[in-house]
Chain A
Amino acid sequence: MISRREFIRRSILYALAIASGNALVSCSQPAPTATPIPPTAAPTAAPPATVAQSTTTRVVSATIAPAPSTIAQGAMTATPSAPAAGEPYLAVARGARPAAITRAVVDALGGIKKFVKPGNDVIIKPNICNAQNGPEYASTTNPEVVAELVKLCLEAGAKRVRVMDQPFSGTANIAYVKSGIRDAVEKVGGEMELMNSAKYVAVNFPATARDIKSWKIYQDILKADVVINVPIAKHHGSARLTLAMKGLMGVITNPGGIHTALDQRIADLSTVIKPTLNIVDGVRVLMNHGPTGGNLKDVKIANTLIASFDPVAVDAYAAQIFFSKKPQDIAYIKFGAEMGLGRYDFGNLRVKEVAV
């Protein structure tokens, strides 16, 4: 037994010790280097024959996207986890069943086993931007697509599959339910994680980033073995479109602070946050009044998914086929290519289209 006085004295001592320890750690901690997600292991050469019945592979004609001459040749080699020879750089799947095209688009890129290894810790990051609308309004990612991805990852032997996003309005609890994603994900064995404010860590950005020097990022996104970014394709008043690169604003603190130089800073985020796979959900596309939505007349059914490890490529491709916009007209896509974060010279890239 210790006296009350002694107890209080010791408590204060412990608290001081913890506080000073914390202060020391935060001072002495080496600034976290912008280590990208480690590139996925060598492709396992999944034959495209396993994909779907009506698989068509073609090189997209250069008329869609002439490669801008501004892209430095050296930058292109820096694209993450470039595919092996003969593997498609970008895959497009079309079909009325969201789950089926999810499987098809992943298979077209070489199959889920190429990205997820047994025992991996996987995070799937959909767009759950607010708590206002159900999936039919196309402001949040299609729940069937997300659930199918969870299933695929678990089939590939993932130890744990978590799904998370930080909505910009409403609470995550309500948004997870309203979007239909919580229900779909938990049914197939995934976990919904409420993003914990204690888990954001300050990250120093590499010199390739032109504007952001340091920003706080959700540490699990940086630590996970595999991150799959699944944005929904939407109109946006300022950035014009919100797709894969812009979706990364959901895993940083103070996303509002990005807005003062929005396009450049969106591109900068991709210098540090490098998802293993980016899949743009174009099952439903929000054509106007984004990113919030709420009006069915603004929703276009496109029944299409676009996937690549290259965030610039998926965004550029989505801009063209959903919104008929040139990639170079969307500033952050243009910046991303200039900075060597990806490419959209589709004339030189192998694009595989499948229909299910």
Chain B
Amino acid sequence: MNSNRWRRARQITQIISTAFFFLLAFLTYRGFESALPLDLYFRLDPLAAFGAMLAARLVIAAMLLALAAIAFGFVFGRAWCGWLCPLGALLDWISPRAWRVAQAHKNWKSVKYVLLFVIFFAALLGNLSLMILDPITLLNRTFSSAFFPALNVVVVSTEIALYPIAPPLHPFFDLIEQNWRGTILPAQQTFYQLGWVLALVFVGVVALNWAAPRFWCRYLCPLGAVYALQAKISWLRPRAVKDCSHCAACMRVCPTSAIAVTKDGFSVDPAECVVCMDCLPACPESVIAFQFGGRRSAVGGQRSDVDLTRRHLIGSALASIGAVALFRTAPSASRDDPWLIRPPGARENNFLAKCIRCAECVKVCPTGVLQPSLFEAGLEGFWSPILTTRLGYCDYSCNACGQVCPTGAIPPLTLEQKRQSIIGTAYIDENRCIPWASYRPCVVCEEMCPVPDKAIKLEPVDLISPDGKKVHVQRPRVVTDMCIGCGICEYKCPLSATAAIRVYAPMQLPPIG
């Protein structure tokens, strides 16, 4: 293969990999019934996989696929970043047209390692807060809770606008609604409290490209740091096979400033090289080659911009210890926030030590009740999934979140187990509930309660209304022992604003006797 073909192969692989990532992301709406491995990219993510295993002190069988990625890293260095990473591909594509030669901010390059070390030490202490910086979780979370819901708004609004005025388009709309609804479009519009924030973070990551191409990859990405460490000893290495005229054409096209051409000649840092192979066709003298054989075969022009020191390690360890200790002084470490309603089975499952914040559960949830959290689980649990029961409900017929969770943080409960799983407890606000406070009948919460024997009971009462009329109402009461906290009562409560029945974290009464 000539040099240009390698580059073309890399570009095609990037397109296929990114397309496959988004295909899996879209198909997640169908839930776990898909034959494809919906969580493939998480299972191939060594940072998420071994981070979660370390934090939970548990071998997670499904995530052992990441061993293949580790092996890949030892052979090909950072080729993941250049060839397969969907975020890397997006950053390649969404870029200023004319890249200027970026300053090689040598010191910044160490940031990603420090982040990786902090994540590592925090995981040793059972904390995964910074997993929000994993590129795969970042991408998935942004699309599941910001861009895909916004895309659905566009689709539905377009249909509503054009349906009455464009009958020729009806077959096309039918095609979308009958075939895509619930498979690649969400079954219904979902709403997210942090959609804008997530979108801005993503836009920020992309915008950094204007400061330097692949800014995120070269300076910040902790997953990139994993591969960078491996690239220091990887088998495949870039090198100059002979001396050249030092024209610096390669340096100008290198997206990560891995190549430097100075008066001392050509040098390349394998830890920064994403094996994109743009330099091969750029070189007029064809002196650059990627060759197998490890360090010994590639002595010519090798460089290491970041020499990791004991100081980096100790600093990261101290930072982790300090941060995790501070997390454990937060109110959330003392007792649960009342609104901390976790997905079914998660609460009892050492959840925060297993959750990699990937938002697969958020995406698969058909009602949109699952959301990346704000501070309900403290800063430590930022962007971990919680149920916001005014925005959706945990459907009695659904156990999809546990089926798609790549790490088992949400256990893969059967539907029967999930129906028994207590995720919260509903309470009625008698000061606002319509039959309690307004002399008018309403039983929506009881009607919706999916528990076979109804966890909400109705008490018939005859009242005299303020204007002297006899009224008969049925007052709802929650039978706490029967309530599973699914939240459909709160979601469907017809009161405007806050519901008169609300789901709180599960009530845990001490045992009697």
**Contact of A3 with B by CB under 8 A:** no
**Contact of A136 with B by CB under 8 A:** no
For A198, give the chain B residue with the smallest CB separation: B159
CA A109 – CA B397 in complex, angstroms? 38
- CB of B423 to closest CB in A, whole Å: 16
**Residues A130 and B178 in contact, CB atoms below 8 Å apart:** no
The CB with the most chain B CB atoms within 10 A, among A18, A175, A178, A196, is that of A196
**Contact of A295 with B by CB under 8 A:** yes
The CB with the most chain B CB atoms within 10 A, among A25, A173, A298, is that of A173
- CB of B432 to closest CB in A, whole Å: 15
**Residues B398 and A18 in contact, CB atoms below 8 Å apart:** no
B440-492 with Cβ < 8 A to chain A: 440-444, 446-454, 458, 474, 488, 492
User: Which among B160, B164, B177, B447 is the interface contact of A238 at CB below 8 angstroms?
Assistant: B447
For A295, give the chain B residue with the smallest CB separation: B452
A286-304 vs B, Cβ < 8 Å mask (1 yes, 0 no): 0001011111001000000
**Residues A171 and B161 in contact, CB atoms below 8 Å apart:** no
A249-305 with Cβ < 8 A to chain B: 256-257, 259-260, 262, 289, 291-295, 298
Residues from chain A with a CB closer than 8 A to the CB of B393 are 169
**Count of A interface residues, CB-CB < 8 Å:** 41
Residues from chain A with a CB closer than 8 A to the CB of B398 are 131, 170, 174
**Residues A21 and B181 in contact, CB atoms below 8 Å apart:** no
The CB with the most chain B CB atoms within 10 A, among A178, A260, A293, is that of A260
Residues from chain B with a CB closer than 8 A to the CB of A259 are 442, 444, 494
User: Which among A171, A175, A193, A291 is the interface contact of B188 at CB below 8 angstroms?
Assistant: A171
Residues from chain B with a CB closer than 8 A to the CB of A22 are 161-162, 164-165
**Contact of B348 with A by CB under 8 A:** no
Residues from chain B with a CB closer than 8 A to the CB of A172 are 182, 187
The CB with the most chain B CB atoms within 10 A, among A237, A256, A259, A289, is that of A237
B182-235 with Cβ < 8 A to chain A: 182-183, 187-188
For B176, give the chain A residue with the smallest CB separation: A196
CA A19 – CA B161 in complex, angstroms? 7
CA A257 – CA B494 in complex, angstroms? 7
CA A174 – CA B488 in complex, angstroms? 17
- CB of A352 to closest CB in B, whole Å: 34
For B159, give the chain A residue with the smallest CB separation: A198
**Residues A173 and B181 in contact, CB atoms below 8 Å apart:** yes
**Residues A169 and B396 in contact, CB atoms below 8 Å apart:** yes
Residues from chain B with a CB closer than 8 A to the CB of A175 are 397
CA A164 – CA B494 in complex, angstroms? 25
A197-213 vs B, Cβ < 8 Å mask (1 yes, 0 no): 11101000000000000
B139-173 with Cβ < 8 A to chain A: 156, 159-165, 173
**Contact of A55 with B by CB under 8 A:** no
**Residues A289 and B447 in contact, CB atoms below 8 Å apart:** no
B43-72 vs A, Cβ < 8 Å mask (1 yes, 0 no): 000000000000000000000000000000
- CB of B306 to closest CB in A, whole Å: 41
**Contact of B336 with A by CB under 8 A:** no
**Contact of B395 with A by CB under 8 A:** yes
User: Which among B164, B182, B395, B451 is the interface contact of A169 at CB below 8 angstroms?
Assistant: B395
Residues from chain A with a CB closer than 8 A to the CB of B440 are 260
**Contact of B174 with A by CB under 8 A:** yes
**Residues A132 and B443 in contact, CB atoms below 8 Å apart:** no
For A29, give the chain B residue with the smallest CB separation: B164
- CB of A292 to closest CB in B, whole Å: 5
**Contact of B88 with A by CB under 8 A:** no
- CB of A312 to closest CB in B, whole Å: 22
Residues from chain B with a CB closer than 8 A to the CB of A193 are 178
- CB of A251 to closest CB in B, whole Å: 16
**Contact of A26 with B by CB under 8 A:** yes
A165-189 vs B, Cβ < 8 Å mask (1 yes, 0 no): 0001111111100100000000000
**Contact of A223 with B by CB under 8 A:** no
User: Which among B160, B447, B450, B494 is the interface contact of A236 at CB below 8 angstroms?
Assistant: B447
**Contact of B385 with A by CB under 8 A:** no
A3-58 with Cβ < 8 A to chain B: 18-19, 21-22, 25-26, 29
**Contact of A194 with B by CB under 8 A:** yes
A227-259 with Cβ < 8 A to chain B: 236-238, 256-257, 259
CA A21 – CA B452 in complex, angstroms? 50
**Contact of B238 with A by CB under 8 A:** no
**Contact of B255 with A by CB under 8 A:** no
Residues from chain B with a CB closer than 8 A to the CB of A197 are 156, 159-160
**Residues B181 and A169 in contact, CB atoms below 8 Å apart:** no
**Residues A289 and B397 in contact, CB atoms below 8 Å apart:** no
CA A236 – CA B444 in complex, angstroms? 10
For A23, give the chain B residue with the smallest CB separation: B161
For B158, give the chain A residue with the smallest CB separation: A198
Residues from chain B with a CB closer than 8 A to the CB of A298 are 452
With contacts A169-B393, A196-B174, A198-B156 known, is A130 near B443, CB below 8 A? no
Residues from chain A with a CB closer than 8 A to the CB of B449 are 292
CA A298 – CA B164 in complex, angstroms? 45
**Contact of B343 with A by CB under 8 A:** no
CA A25 – CA B494 in complex, angstroms? 32
**Residues B458 and A237 in contact, CB atoms below 8 Å apart:** yes
**Residues B160 and A194 in contact, CB atoms below 8 Å apart:** no
**Residues A169 and B187 in contact, CB atoms below 8 Å apart:** no
**Contact of B366 with A by CB under 8 A:** yes
CA A172 – CA B183 in complex, angstroms? 12
**Residues B173 and A196 in contact, CB atoms below 8 Å apart:** yes
With contacts A170-B366, A291-B447 known, is A256 near B458, CB below 8 A? no
Residues from chain A with a CB closer than 8 A to the CB of B441 are 238, 262
- CB of B446 to closest CB in A, whole Å: 5
With contacts A169-B488, A259-B442 known, is A132 near B448, CB below 8 A? no
Residues from chain A with a CB closer than 8 A to the CB of B442 are 238, 259-260
**Residues B395 and A170 in contact, CB atoms below 8 Å apart:** yes
- CB of B448 to closest CB in A, whole Å: 7
Q: A131-B397, A132-B450, A292-B448 are in contact. List 10 more A-B contacts (CB 8 A).
A: A18-B161, A22-B164, A170-B395, A171-B182, A171-B395, A237-B454, A256-B444, A292-B449, A294-B396, A294-B451
List residues of chain B with CB under 8 Å of any chain A CB.
Answer: 156, 159-165, 173-174, 177-178, 181-183, 187-188, 366, 393, 395-398, 434, 440-444, 446-454, 458, 474, 488, 492, 494
Chain A to chain B contacts (Cβ below 8 Å), 20 pairs: A21-B165, A22-B161, A26-B164, A29-B164, A131-B397, A171-B187, A193-B178, A194-B178, A194-B181, A198-B177, A236-B447, A237-B446, A237-B474, A238-B446, A238-B447, A256-B494, A259-B494, A292-B449, A292-B454, A293-B452
- Across chains A and B, which 4 residue pairs bring their CB atoms closest together, nearest first? A294-B452, A131-B397, A171-B187, A198-B159
